[in-house]
Chain A
């Protein structure tokens, strides 16, 4: 009997559509896998077995009735806990939302449900998506399936770890500065951040509104394209959503042809100063693309070095405003101040925010409040917005010379849990290669390109494309993936150590 937890989403969908298996069987297999390994991985904050199986049954009934359904019908999926799900607890990894059950679905969740995709549960994340290691979750860290002592990347470590640990074939992540791509890199999975506005933000608990973007976490480039096509497209509930059809991502992933394409290597982020094994794998990947007919050009993006600084002004500024609604009055946690008989609303708010927000969140709220305050706005937020414009211009110039740009996704492989917790700056540096895409709104993808020599841990290869040209990520990604699979003789996740499973694998 086939173990569908090891299959890609495309394979699962085909097996369900052909009657070889059922959505209930596949969903149950994943629920079993979660029960078996998640105590070690802690990818999930909430598992909704009942809801997932009910959705699976509905798909099976629809197939039995001869209905034709979408290309991912019946394939179960996990959703990052920053995305609101009606009737299913949503906390954004924060204590302040402990037990909050939203009365509505995010638009992308509505689309998943309409596509017949059972929702397995909600995945762990850094609190309000602030972090690069999933250690800032109020509910404890997620562990990297490659080495349980290591971080799974952040902020969406739960989604990528669930996919890497075969607990879910697909997951939804959100990427504000690299939170889909960076965890994908350190867990050996594929992660795409679509063009800003390509997937509706309606129902995403906002971190930084102008940077946030939801996207797919998968084990193959084709799966990412299929999921992208399900969740993408215009939404009247999000005025920043792009009013145009989803780019032809599935066609591009199927075609996988880079002959004649110009691949731009960004001089400033081409592996200098990165972990040697990562630099080596990056160069090898570029060569594989050349072997398949691509042309390599070197491009310069001098403003990128200011990107990190700009990002860490814009993000906290917007976050400080977005998080102001958590005031203990209408939903979520409410804590009374100690030793006060009849506390004022302000005292309750202060006590709740003190108890409900973690250190990293408090740090960024204070930073953002300061950066927006009168007299400092121009020096900080205003300057950061100018840098943002410069970075967008760098991209424009670079895309005049190349069809796509490539970089290593993260400077290092997964570091040890706790290793950088006391050094926020070192932590922030993890996103140095991914942040420019968020600042400029362009799409990006990370796919696994090997295991670093020095530690045998996964490395990620980042592809960036011009805004609204998401299909190029899939064209190049699928071509590189095919070359790498041929080299490895199978998926890279097959090389990961088996997780000690109660159910036994």
Chain B
């Protein structure tokens, strides 16, 4: 049952939201955090397991050095300090998907701490998200509850557990409490998770697929009355798995908590579940500070002590920060702020970069990817990636336009053919017989005929109203069934009427 909510703007008039975001990211290492098992997604259940990740009696963990290096690179990219010496700890609790009944994690000694990530918002402003820590841990297995109607454990006849995911390396990135975002809090959260996703992708440490669960966000939200000086009680909405949901879930929590506070109720400290379909959160397990995980240093593992030189070496492997890269590309390509934002919103930055690298002009690359292709993807409800249109094809198309073989409308027809799987732009143009008429004799004849047939318009041009030439060009194109070079036609018309 949905709780009462108040209007979002009304909530923000009375309260300041405070957020804390915990993002879990599965690292894309070839093997698990503490054993040599493979990490591939989608394998047959329980085929990627061994005594270590099954937690069999006697088995011992050994730290995956690649995972540690990935963690360090993430820490560095988030402007964190890297611990000179840190340990794993055991987080003791019972959980059906967790073979040892404790999770090997980092507690008070994270590998990276005290950093920040600058996040760009839609209006072009920047919000600095302070990072408290980034620590390493292992993922749990996955349960499948069979026989019930809801897929939940209640009412199920039995449960199956798949331990393939148990032991996959995770990085948990925890922000400090984010204050001062005001009404933009949900947007900040979304932008932060998106920026983090871009960064991790650029670092090539994870496939960051939220829909597959390789990146998940827990959102802590509390409200603070504008005149108060202490944080309110928070709730933690678990496992939100899309950017849009992050924004919506936080917005909902703000409205829900405001309704409770307005009615004089207290907020219960608890975990909450987000429901994508109904757009609400529901109460989960009560969570209190008394949750006792009985942490203690993992005695089966030696401490992690990354050598300073190695840390500095890893620093040199960091990619250009995504925000900086965007600024550089915008300047290189000469896009306006608005054009750049369109490009980013269309998720076309990489495609455009590759297309330019293939020889297209930045303007043409932008025009095709954010124009025709984005439009068609939108109409058909598909992703641009599904079209089979490569950056090389777009560069080829642009080359044909610039070389004078195609005009704009012909290029659109060619692109449609490419999307429909008829082959490369050249192949499509050849097959469809699309080619501008290069024969100046034919063009001249058409121009003469159009001038003769449109005396009044021709006169206007003769009087110096050059804009009127457009109508004549259109007539010439019509005469030549679209296969005329518009620029040449214009040149010829003006030569005949104004010289």
B and A form one assembly: yes
CB distance from B329 to the nearest CB of A (A): 44
Among A100, A202, A325, contact of B60 (Cβ-Cβ < 8 Å): A202
A205-B299 contact given A324-B101, A330-B99, CB 8 Å threshold: no
Contacts of B92 in A (CB 8 A): 320-321, 324, 372
Q: Which chain A residues numbered 348 to 394 have a C-beta less than 8 Å away from chain B? A: 349, 369, 372-374, 377, 381
Contacts of A331 in B (CB 8 A): 56-57
Chain B 53-71 per-residue mask, 1 if CB under 8 angstroms from chain A, else 0:
0111111111100000000
Q: Which chain B residues numbered 43 to 58 have a C-beta less than 8 Å away from chain A? A: 51, 54-58
CA distance A138 to B291 in the complex (A): 34
Cβ A206 vs Cβ B102 within 8 A: no
The answer to whether the Cβ of B445 comes within 8 Å of any Cβ in the partner chain is no
Contacts of A205 in B (CB 8 A): 57-58
Closest to B294 in A: A372
Cβ B90 vs Cβ A321 within 8 A: yes
Cβ B296 vs Cβ A317 within 8 A: yes
CA distance A309 to B352 in the complex (A): 68
The answer to whether the Cβ of B301 comes within 8 Å of any Cβ in the partner chain is yes
Summarize A's interface: helix, strand, loop or mixed: loop
The answer to whether the Cβ of B229 comes within 8 Å of any Cβ in the partner chain is no
Can you add 14 more A-B contacts, CB < 8 Å, to A84-B58, A324-B102? A83-B58, A84-B56, A102-B57, A104-B59, A206-B57, A206-B58, A209-B299, A238-B60, A318-B296, A325-B99, A331-B57, A346-B94, A349-B94, A372-B296
Contacts of B296 in A (CB 8 A): 317-318, 321, 372, 377, 381
Cβ A240 vs Cβ B58 within 8 A: no
The answer to whether the Cβ of A237 comes within 8 Å of any Cβ in the partner chain is yes
Contacts of A104 in B (CB 8 A): 51, 56, 58-59
CA distance A201 to B299 in the complex (A): 12
The answer to whether the Cβ of A223 comes within 8 Å of any Cβ in the partner chain is no
A239-B90 contact given A84-B58, A106-B58, CB 8 Å threshold: no
Cβ B57 vs Cβ A92 within 8 A: yes
Cβ B94 vs Cβ A324 within 8 A: yes
A84-B57 contact given A239-B301, A321-B102, A345-B96, CB 8 Å threshold: yes
The answer to whether the Cβ of A327 comes within 8 Å of any Cβ in the partner chain is yes
Chain B positions within 8 Å of A, measured between CB atoms, are 51, 54-63, 90, 92, 94, 96, 99-102, 290, 292, 294-296, 299-302
Cβ B62 vs Cβ A238 within 8 A: yes
Among B96, B100, B299, contact of A325 (Cβ-Cβ < 8 Å): B100
Closest to B153 in A: A345
CA distance A104 to B296 in the complex (A): 28
Interface size class of A (residues with CB under 8 A): 35 or more
CB distance from A102 to the nearest CB of B (A): 7
CB distance from A468 to the nearest CB of B (A): 15
* 6 interchain pairs, CB-CB under 8 A: A203-B58, A203-B59, A206-B300, A237-B62, A327-B94, A373-B294
CB distance from A302 to the nearest CB of B (A): 26
Chain A 186-210 per-residue mask, 1 if CB under 8 angstroms from chain B, else 0:
0000000000000001111110111
CB distance from B100 to the nearest CB of A (A): 5
Chain A 274-300 per-residue mask, 1 if CB under 8 angstroms from chain B, else 0:
000000000000000000000000000
CB distance from A384 to the nearest CB of B (A): 11
CA distance A331 to B60 in the complex (A): 17
Most chain A CB atoms below 10 A, which of B59, B62, B290, B302: B59
CA distance A203 to B62 in the complex (A): 13
Cβ A240 vs Cβ B100 within 8 A: no
Top 8 nearest A-B pairs (CB, nearest first) are A324-B101, A209-B299, A210-B299, A372-B294, A203-B58, A84-B58, A205-B57, A374-B292
CA distance A318 to B295 in the complex (A): 11
CB distance from A180 to the nearest CB of B (A): 18
Contacts of B63 in A (CB 8 A): 239
CA distance A317 to B99 in the complex (A): 19
CB distance from B62 to the nearest CB of A (A): 5
CA distance A237 to B102 in the complex (A): 20
Cβ B56 vs Cβ A102 within 8 A: yes
Among B57, B96, B290, B295, contact of A329 (Cβ-Cβ < 8 Å): B96
CA distance A90 to B294 in the complex (A): 29
CB distance from B169 to the nearest CB of A (A): 15
Chain A 47-88 per-residue mask, 1 if CB under 8 angstroms from chain B, else 0:
000000000000000000000000000000000000110000
The answer to whether the Cβ of A35 comes within 8 Å of any Cβ in the partner chain is no
